[in-house]
Structure formats: structure tokens, C-alpha cells
């Protein structure tokens, strides 16, 4: 049996402290101050959009609708927000879960254009050479495909950590699970990602 | 073989958002040499970083998200709060009434501690023993006379607790209208909606139809959504929902091959009804795109110029300038 140890680096970041510059705004929103809620929604909207686009694709036609559902979910869940993470990460998680559910629905309806961001990502990405851009687009597609096959906890951790760049501690706080649980899920998910990329001839060399 | 439990996940995250110290960078690179999983994760994450930045139109999209939240969450909470306030006020009034009856009885000479009689109707219905046992009421003291005598003890009709509800609650036929503030969609379509565009008595039906059309559109049933938006425009032409529906219709039609002229008509309808509305920017963009597809270069150029002049900082401005450059001889 493998013993999961802590990272070797003793300078790992401390657990998330529940200090959030949006907390006062959330309090005002909970007191039904519409202006505060408006500011809050507009502030977290980029995070929600980023989360949704990461799962569906940057130009997927359902991005707006899924983001809208996520924003509504965020507003409705606000009274139950326990401040174990910051509000941006809370919104991110709602966006990720909503997008993953939408992706599942789309695939169930056999709408295989879930990754139609592929070509458009390629066009949008002007910083890399066309070959590099194509490889990166394929990497993104590989991860999105992988999300369809992973268990819920693993794919959630994979998107929040690998795609959105949240730390293990931030992911753990947002998902309300221990950090070691996230590490364990990430270990499995990253290994699956490596295997998925290695199985792709065009990505294997770039790995 | 990787040793995942030792993976420096915090360095992987920080490597994408901030500069690592030399020691950290060396440690991370040494780890990446050995760990294919972390290498794959880091490179895939960097591939996402390149495309997940803000997109043109995100500001407007955020505003639309807020409009929907306001419509579906904030207003409902507000209505619920008003209902609770009204119920609380009614309870207070009922309590005061009971108290006043007791005080009145005391003033009329009843012994203290006597039971307040049940209403005559209750006594008649249930045959409450206590009611039968009470002393006979004199003819000059009918039960119906009590409320008028209680008026001195009751709060005024517009008690402070009721004032906000009374001032904010709409007429019965418009329970969901956001009066007195402008409806969210009027704000979304332009807080300065033209005089002809105002909430009407049929706004409730318009709102329901608009919501249904939105739900249909989200399901991907674009043909049915188009039909519902058209019905909304036809049946409730003066509602704010119909105004927004023009832009929604335009966007749906724009995505359909061969429907450029129809989309153009919708965008034009919005721009005529709300030339300074908040969706004017999107309507202008949609109009220019339609004209481009229809090959009407001169009108297209004029629309792009109008967009740039009116909204120089628009997310569409760069696209407009590029297209104007292409159109210039």
C-alpha cells in the first residue's frame, strides 16, 4: 500500500485563510442590496466564464448559457457559502461543475461538437507557430476528452488545478475536501492525462 | 516510474502565474525531468493559459449575466421579503386587535382576567362551551361595533412596517413587474429606453414568453426559440422583452445560413426603437455583420464607422477598424 506523504518542499503554501476582499460585498448582497449583488456578479463573471470555457471550449456556442446557469447558481448558493474558500474560487467551482454537467448532457445527445473550440483556439492563438498551436490545441482537446472518462472528483480536481491553475489548497478549500484527497485525485488524473497524451502519436513526441 | 506523492504541485501552479525563485525553478525542472505526469500537466495547463484570457464582449456578457440574476434571483428574493413583511404586519395588526378587544372589555367593566369571548361565528360553528357561558351581550354592544371602536388603537393604514411594501408592491395584475425601478431588461436594453417602450399590462405574459424562449434557445432548439421570440414581438410589441427579443432574434438568424436579411431587420428594429440602448453596440455589430454577408459594402462601412464613433472603446471596435481598412479602396 502506497503511503501518501506530504510534498518534499517544506515551503508549501499555508492553508487558505478565509480572508476575501469580496466578503464585504457578499455580505451586502446577502442583505439584498441589489447594487452589491450586481457588483459581485460582474466581478466573478470573468472567473465563471474562464471556468466554463476551459471545459467546453473557448468559442463553444453554449458558453453563455452555461455561464448564465452558473451565475444563477452562484447567486442562489451565496447564502450557503461557508467562507472556506474565497468567492472567486467558489464561483470557479460552480462554473466548472456546471460546464462538466453541460458537457455530459451534450455528449449524451451525441452532439460531438463539444470541442469545436479546437480550430478557433488555433486561430486565436497568435503567439505560437502554427505547429505549436496545433499541438497545444490537441493537448486541450485531450484533456477535455479525458474529463469525460474520469470520476467526478478527479476531473474536478484536474480542471481546477491543471487548467485553471488553482493550487492544491485552493482546490481543496473550494471542493471542501482535505488537501491530501485532492493530491490523491490529482495524482491519478495527471497519470491518466500522461497516458492519454502518450497514446496520441502527435502529442507523444512533444511530451 | 513517477512518485506522485512527492510532486511539487504548488510549484506547478506558481510556475504559471508568477516567477519562481532560482532554487524553486531548479527543483521543479529536476522533478519534471523524472515525472511525465507533471510534465504533461504543466504543458497542458500552459496550453490553456494561452486561450483562456478575456474575450471580446465579455463585459457585455457579464452585464447580461447580471440581468438574468436580477430577474430570476434578486427580484424573487425581494418579493419574498415583501411578502414576509406583509404577513408580519398582518400578524401585528391581528395581535393589536386582540389586545384592543381585551382593553375595551376591561374599560367596559369586565373583571380582569375574564376570557375574551370567541367571535359569534365561531361560537355558532363550534358550539364552544366558553362562548355559551359568557354573559349576554347588550344590544348596544354588538360584536360588529367593536372594530369601529378599535380604530383608535389600530396603527394607521400606512404603518411604517407596511410602507415599503405598499410603495413598492405593484398592482395585482403586475405582480412581477419591477416597478418602480425600471425592469432589468429595460436596463439591459438601455436604461434610457424610448418612451414607446415601457412596461405594459401585458408585461407579465411577455416576461413568461421571453423566459420560455430563452429556455428553448438554451436547449439548442433554435427554430422553436425563433418562433417564440417572434411571437413575443408580435403579441407584446411594446414590452421591454420584445425590444431585447429583436437582438436575440437577430443573433439566432445570423447563425442561420441565408437568413441575413431577416437578421438585419431585427437589428434595425432594435436600433430604431432604442437607438441609445445598452444593446445598441451589439445591434450595430450584428447589423454590420449582416450587411457584410449580404455584400452591401457601403452600408456595412457606414455601420462600422458608426460603431467606432459611438463606441470607440468597444470590444468590437478593433474588428470594425480592420473591416473598414479592408473596405477602403
Indicate the burial class of A76 (C-beta count within 10 angstroms; 0-12, 13-18, 19 or more): middle
How far out from the chain centre does Cα B57 lie? 20
Residue A159 is given by DSSP the state: I
Q: Which residues of chain A have pLDDT under 70?
A: 1-19, 110-129, 202, 204-207
pLDDT at B96: 79
pLDDT tens per residue, range A74-126: 999 998 888 888 899 999 999 999 999 998 888 877 554 444 344 444 444 44
From chain A residues 118-157, the ones with a CB under 8 A of any chain B CB are 121, 124-125, 127-128, 135-137, 139-140, 142-143
Residues of A within 8 A of B31 (CB-CB) are none
Q: Give the C-alpha separation, B13 to B15, whole Å.
A: 6
- Measured over the CA atoms of residue B151, residue B154, residue B156 and residue B162, the dihedral's sign is negative
Q: Which residue has the cell 451565496?
A: A78
pLDDT at B110: 56
End-to-end CA distance of chain A: 29
Taking an 8 Å cut-off on Cβ atoms, the answer to whether A2 and B5 are in contact is yes
Helices (H) and strands (E) in chain B, counts: 17, 0
Look at residues A110, A118, A105 and name the one whose alpha carbon lies nearest to residue A60: A118
Q: Give the C-alpha separation, A169 to A175, whole Å.
A: 10
Q: Give the C-alpha separation, A78 to A67, whole Å.
A: 16
Residue A58 is given by DSSP the state: T
DSSP secondary structure of B23-41: HHHHHHHHHHHH-HHHHHH
Q: Give the C-alpha separation, A190 to B38, whole Å.
A: 7
pLDDT at A110: 59
Q: Which residues of chain B have pLDDT under 50?
A: 1-4, 112-203
The predicted complex's ipTM stands at 0.82
pLDDT at B162: 32
DSSP secondary structure of B274-314: -TTSTTHHHHHHHHHHHHHHHT-HHHHHHHHHHHHHH-TT-
Give residues with Cβ within 8 angstroms of B272, minimum separation 6.
none
Residue from the list B4, B7, B47 with its beta carbon closest to the beta carbon of A136 = B47
pLDDT at B164: 32
- Would the pTM count as exceeding 0.80? no
Tell me, yes or no, if B56 comes closer than 8 A to chain A by beta carbon.
Answer: no
To 10 degrees, what angle do helices B36-49 and B22-34 make?
Answer: 120
Taking an 8 Å cut-off on Cβ atoms, the answer to whether A34 and B13 are in contact is no
- Which three three-digit cell numbers place residue B114? 375574564
User: Is B97 strand, coil or helix?
Assistant: helix
pLDDT at A188: 94
Amino acid at each position: 500500500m502506497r503511503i501518501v506523504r506530504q510534498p518534499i518542499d517544506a515551503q508549501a503554501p499555508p492553508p487558505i485563510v478565509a480572508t476575501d476582499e469580496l466578503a464585504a460585498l457578499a455580505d451586502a448582497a446577502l442583505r439584498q442590496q441589489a447594487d452589491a449583488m450586481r457588483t459581485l456578479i460582474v466581478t466573478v463573471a470573468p472567473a465563471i466564464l474562464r471556468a466554463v470555457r476551459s471545459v467546453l471550449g473557448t468559442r463553444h456556442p453554449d458558453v453563455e448559457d452555461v455561464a448564465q446557469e452558473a451565475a444563477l447558481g452562484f447567486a442562489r448558493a451565496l447564502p450557503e457559502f461557508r467562507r472556506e474558500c474565497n468567492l472567486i474560487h467558489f464561483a470557479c467551482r460552480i462554473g466548472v461543475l456546471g460546464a462538466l454537467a453541460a458537457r455530459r448532457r451534450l455528449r449524451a445527445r451525441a452532439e460531438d461538437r463539444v470541442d469545436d473550440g479546437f480550430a478557433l483556439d488555433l486561430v486565436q492563438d497568435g503567439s505560437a507557430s502554427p505547429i505549436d498551436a496545433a499541438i497545444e490545441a490537441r493537448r486541450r482537446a485531450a484533456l477535455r476528452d479525458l474529463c469525460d472518462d474520469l470520476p467526478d472528483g478527479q476531473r474536478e480536481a484536474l480542471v481546477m488545478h491543471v487548467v485553471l491553475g488553482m493550487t492544491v489548497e485552493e482546490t481543496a478549500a473550494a471542493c471542501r475536501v482535505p488537501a491530501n484527497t485532492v493530491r490523491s485525485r490529482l495524482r491519478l488524473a495527471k497519470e491518466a492525462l500522461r497516458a492519454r497524451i502518450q497514446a496520441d502519436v502527435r502529442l507523444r513526441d512533444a511530451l | 516510474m513517477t512518485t506522485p506523492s512527492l510532486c511539487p504541485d504548488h510549484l506547478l501552479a506558481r510556475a504559471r502565474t508568477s516567477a519562481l525563485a532560482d532554487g524553486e525553478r531548479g527543483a521543479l525542472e529536476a522533478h519534471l525531468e523524472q515525472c511525465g505526469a507533471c510534465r504533461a500537466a504543466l504543458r497542458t495547463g500552459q496550453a490553456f493559459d494561452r486561450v483562456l484570457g478575456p474575450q471580446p464582449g465579455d463585459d457585455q456578457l457579464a452585464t447580461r449575466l447580471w440581468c438574468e440574476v436580477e430577474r430570476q434571483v434578486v427580484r424573487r428574493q425581494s418579493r419574498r421579503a415583501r411578502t414576509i413583511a406583509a404577513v408580519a404586519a398582518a400578524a401585528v395588526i391581528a395581535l393589536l386587535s386582540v389586545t384592543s378587544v381585551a382593553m375595551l372589555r376591561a374599560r367596559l367593566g369586565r373583571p380582569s382576567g375574564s376570557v375574551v369571548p370567541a367571535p359569534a361565528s365561531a361560537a355558532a360553528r363550534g358550539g364552544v362551551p366558553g362562548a355559551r357561558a359568557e354573559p349576554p351581550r347588550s344590544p348596544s354592544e354588538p360584536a360588529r361595533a367593536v372594530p369601529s371602536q378599535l380604530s383608535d388603537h389600530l396603527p394607521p393604514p400606512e404603518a411604517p412596517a407596511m410602507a415599503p411594501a405598499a410603495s413598492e408592491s405593484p398592482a395585482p395584475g403586475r405582480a412581477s413587474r419591477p416597478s418602480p425601478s425600471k425592469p432589468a431588461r429595460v436596463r439591459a436594453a438601455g436604461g434610457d429606453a424610448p418612451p414607446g417602450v415601457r412596461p405594459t399590462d401585458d408585461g407579465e405574459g411577455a416576461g413568461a414568453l421571453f423566459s420560455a424562449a430563452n429556455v428553448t434557445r438554451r436547449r439548442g432548439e433554435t427554430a422553436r426559440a425563433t418562433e417564440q421570440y417572434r411571437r413575443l414581438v408580435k403579441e407584446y410589441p411594446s414590452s421591454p422583452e420584445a425590444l431585447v427579443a429583436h437582438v436575440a432574434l437577430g443573433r439566432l438568424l445570423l447563425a442561420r445560413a441565408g437568413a441575413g436579411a431577416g437578421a438585419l431587420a431585427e437589428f434595425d428594429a432594435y436600433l430604431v426603437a432604442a437607438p441609445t440602448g445598452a444593446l445598441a453596440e451589439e445591434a450595430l455589430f450584428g447589423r454590420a455583420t449582416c450587411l457584410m454577408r449580404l455584400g452591401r459594402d457601403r452600408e456595412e462601412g457606414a455601420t462600422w464607422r458608426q460603431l467606432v464613433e459611438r463606441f470607440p472603446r468597444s470590444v468590437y471596435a478593433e474588428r470594425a477598424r480592420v473591416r473598414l481598412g479592408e473596405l477602403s479602396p
